[in-house]
Structure 1
Amino acid sequence: MLSLDSLWTVVTCQAKQIQRLSTMSQTNPPILSVLPIRALVDEKFEVLVENLPAGSPVTLHALHHSEDKDYWEAYAHYISDHRGTVSVAEDLSFGGTYTGIEPMGLLWSMRPVPGSRTGLRLRKMDVHSPMLVNISVYSGHIAEGFREQPPLASALTERWYMAPGVRRIDIKEKGVRGTLFIPPGPGPFPGLMDMWGGSGGLLEYRAALLASHGYVSMALEYFSPGELQSAELEFKYFEAAFNIIKDHPQVIPDRVGLFGLCLGAVVTMYLAAESTITKPRCCVCVSGNHFYPRGETLSGMHKAMMRNSHKARMDENDHYIVRDVTLPITSDLSMKVDVRKINCPMLLVNGHDDQNTPAVESAEDIAQMMHTAGKEHLLTRLHYPDTGHLIEPPYSPHFRATKFITESTKAKVILLWGGQTKPHSDAQEDSWRKILAFLQQHLYSTSIPKAKM
């Protein structure tokens, strides 16, 4: 009896023979279509190859040249059906960077091409331009040498964070630095303050995407350590940023929310619990914890964490794991955000394989604290298995470990974020859909259609 591998070899050889025979009589070249060719990054597309010989093995390949001048790719092996067609949305991939029926696998399974620098992370910095992805179809099942042979057909697709009509405005007022994105249309709209993690700098792509869904969104730039010398001044920085959004003429003042990842999630919870000027309408916290020593600046918080730096460790690949630094979760209320004071709906999104912060353990403690205050009804939790720290908008590649330069120490390490590619990517798609539904529920009283490409 033939083994499965031997049987597959026979089937492949027969398919190649059919392809050679059919190609001799074929006069029209294969047709590759990607619809829509231009879309927001969180919208699905359909990839279809037609006019192939029946039973023909082909490889679909996606290639992106990043703003950092690195090449990212994904590929998958298919066999055309009796009509000579391959539909990525309906057909099985038999191998490549993903397998099975995965309509968006050509995006979420992207990885640096062989020979690239180590520890890369793909991020869009210029939201005025699209992420360009070239999709090609090649004869046969191949895994390398894509540049050495011509494709049967190619199509260039545009993936946008900023929809047509979204306005981008630099913010430099009241000591606050950031970027405001305003949706198209007359408004006013709900508002969001968008905060990233501890690497610092200004990241705009998520705020631009949120504006494309109908929210006036500010990407807040984190200040440099030591710029604000007290926790009081630091707290006022975030409050000033929140009020800039709230007081904008295009914003509904009582419908402003907070959105944070990692350190941004910590700040989100702290603002929701401690701010006396105004309260957010709702909060979204991704991969965060509630460790925040009372009276400390963010730099001071980092120093407090580093007192337990001996708990950090390296894995077998010399990737830095820091999730244990704040474990076990303290019972000392002076060392964490008093989430019992939060009076708005809060959504926690976490991965069980987060190797950067103990987000799931923190979520359990947050739930217990809110329960004791009779506020468990305000809390919604999303936990995903085999999912790491960097839970981004859908169809973004999975980054298990990347180079990281801490804003406070300028140390260069390769951090282990965690997660496995397929479940992590599924979590990104599912959580984004539920985040948008959560924001719709709590920031909009009536549905307003999002902008279309």
Structure 2
Amino acid sequence: MAQSAPPVLSVVPTRALVDEKFKVLVENLAPGSPVTLHSLHQSEDQDYWEAFGHYISDHRGVVSVAEDLSFGGTYTGVEVMGLLWSMRPAPGSHDCKRLRKKNVCTPILVSISVYRGHLAEGFRDQSPLASVLIERWYMAPGVQRIDIREKGVRGTLFIPPGPGPFPGMLDMWGGGGGLVEYRTSLLASHGYASFALEYFPPGAMWKADVDLSHFETAFNILKDHPQVIPHRIGIFGFCLGSTVAMHLVTESSIIKPLCCVCVSGFHMTVPEFTVKKVHELMVKHSNVVRLDENNHEIWRDLGPEMIKDPSYKLNVQKINCPVLLVSGHEDQNCAAVENAEDIFQSMTVLGKEHLVTSVQYPGAGHMIEPPFSPHSSAIPFVFKAKIKSKWACGGQPKPHSDAKEDAWMKILAFLQHHLYFCTTPKAKM
């Protein structure tokens, strides 16, 4: 008797940007066969991350992740990208890790495998029926990566492929510090000359004596690059970077961004603004910090506490460019939803509400990043010199993943509209 053909696993495409979806298909199974689809990635920290779903083949002996239910595993239901967004540290790896790409010049390698039966552990001790290795990239082919070290500014500029010039983006991350390139390189892959700014070293917020002139200099370095359209530049800020971004669009008389994206941010200020002074104000009010059930620090009450003093509240009514505010209702690090609502109300008083777009996500936490990356429930943070904490981020894996996917699409649409297709709406006087 002829032997039946072995199962065939296909993943299409096997090489793509991290924000692109793939299709996973298993064929040549016996009808009604229980199988487990499993993903495995070894991070740059040498930790293993995995996800898995339990499936049953249809009458044709086929499992399609895009159409079929997962009956168990790290995700359930029809989840096209569940094998990525539901990844978690594999047994033996460190807890409270954050999967974050450091070297964007190399891909994220993920092994997708199919196993017989419904498994929940011991994947590396068994032989899969079939496996496929896929590549997930932040940098599209042809994107240029350029180190910037001038005028006291440190960062990385990513130039899209093609003749240019292109609209520009100044990209700023939060209080963890360091040079973070993955979102910036992905923006370049979507057509924006994007500048990842390192405005203080990792863990050094407490001594970052950096004022607005530093960010204005960075903006002008981007503006003056020959591959950048000088009058079409936006600003992108996350967490502390959002605070900086709001300062630039309200307080700077030197630069004029065309639009601004703020994710999980708050609109506080200090006299003679510097990052170090923001940190000092946080320390002053850190008595409102509390712990969750895992002893992770909840900081969301800090922002509202600080701006009880009106002198610490940024005058957002001076905004004169379109602003997109992205926030999660379960953010445990920042009262971002309340912040967005206050900004909208303040702008409405002056008839400038048309400049503010606010998108809010129930079930989402603090780390609203590009889509399909695993959820981070807490992140390590150096709050004071040599004093490390674990900050609660909040959010639930499934709604948080949905928020990241939807927010990223809205961000790209917002940038395309304002940086490619139109000029800045005029504020009502």
Matched, 1:263 2:222: no
Q: Residue in 2 aligned with 1:425?
A: 401
Decide whether the 8 Å contact of 2:329 with 2:360 is kept in 1: yes
User: What SS class does the counterpart of residue 64 from structure 1 fall into?
Assistant: strand
Among 372, 392, 396, the alignment partner of 1:416 is 392
Question: Which of residues 289, 296, 307 is equivalent to 1:312?
Answer: 289
- Aligned residue for 2:180? 203
In 2, Cα distance between the equivalents of 1:154 and 1:95? 20
Matches of 2:156 and 2:279 in 1, distance apart?
26
Between the aligned partners of 1:329 and 1:434, the Cα distance in structure 2 is 30
1:392 and 2:351 are equivalent in the alignment = no
CA offsets, 1:401-441, max 9 Å, x none?
A: 132234x5332112110000000000000000000000000
Q: CA deviation at 1:209?
A: 0.1
Q: Which range is displaced more, 353-362 or 299-308?
A: 299-308
Q: Name which of structure 1's ranges 262-271 and 332-341 shifts more when overlaid on structure 2.
A: 332-341
| Residue 331 (structure 1) shift | 5.5
Question: Does the 8 Å CA contact 2:266/2:336 hold for their aligned counterparts?
Answer: yes
- From 59, 79, 86, the equivalent of 2:63 is 86
Question: Is 2:211–2:273's contact at 8 Å kept on the other side of the alignment?
Answer: no
* 2:45 aligned partner: 68
Partner of 1:20: none
Equivalent residues of 1:30, 1:50 under 8 A apart: yes
Q: Does the 8 Å contact 1:306/1:325 carry over to 2? A: no
SS at structure 1 position matched to 2:214: helix
- Indicate the residue corresponding to 2:116 in structure 1: 139
Partner of 2:216: 239
- Are the equivalent residues in 2 in contact too, given 1:294–1:336 (CA < 8 A)? no
- Pairwise mapping of residues 84-123 of structure 1 onto structure 2 (< 5 A)? 84-123=61-100
Contact 2:259 2:322 in 1 (8 A): yes
Letter in 2 for 1:442: H
* Deviation, structure 1 residue 25: 6.9
Counterpart of 2:413 (choices 430, 437, 442) is 437
The 1:429–1:243 alpha-carbon spacing in structure 2 relative to 1, beyond 3 Å, is same
Aligned residues: 419
CA contact (8 A) 2:377 2:395 kept: yes
Deviation at 1:228, TM superposition (A): 6.4
Are 2:381 and 1:373 aligned? no
* Identical pairs, percent: 65
Instruction: Note if contact 1:191-1:215 (Cα within 8 Å) is conserved in structure 2.
Output: yes
2:427: which partner in 1?
none
Counterparts in 2 of 1:93 and 1:59: CA distance versus 1, 3 Å: same
Tell me how far 1:215 sits from its aligned partner: 0.1
Q: Which moved more, 1:305-314 or 1:63-72?
A: 305-314
Give unmatched runs, 5+ long, in structure 2: 423-429
Q: Who is 2:263 aligned against?
A: 286
State the shift of 1:26 in Å: 4.7
Residues 22-64 of structure 1 deviation map (CA, whole Å, 9 limit, x = unaligned): xx97521100000000000000000000001110000000000
Partner in structure 1 of residue 105 of structure 2: 128
SS at match of 1:444: helix
1:35-46 equivalences under 5 Å are 35-46=12-23
* Separation in 2, partners of 1:119, 1:96: 20
Q: Does 1:275 align with 2:268?
A: no
Larger radius of gyration: 1
Alpha carbons of structure 1 residues 276 and 129: separation in structure 2 relative to 1, 3 Å: same
The residue type paired with residue 374 of structure 1 is G
Across the aligned residues of Structure 1 and Structure 2, the Cα RMSD in angstroms comes to 1.5
Distance 1:25 1:297 in 2: 75
CA distance 1:331–1:401, change in 2 (3 Å): closer
Query: How far off its partner does 1:336 sit?
Result: 2.0
Separation in 1 of the partners of 2:34 and 2:158? Answer: 45
Contact 1:266 1:291 in 2 (8 A): yes
Q: TM-score, normalised by structure 2?
A: 0.95
Deviation at 1:329? 6.8
**Alpha-carbon offset, residue 115 of structure 1:** 2.6
Shift of 1:326: 2.2
State the AA in 1 paired with 2:410. K
1:402 corresponds in structure 2 to 379
Unpaired runs of at least 5, structure 1: 1-23, 447-453
Query: TM-score of the superposition, structure 1-length normalised?
Result: 0.90
1:12 maps to none
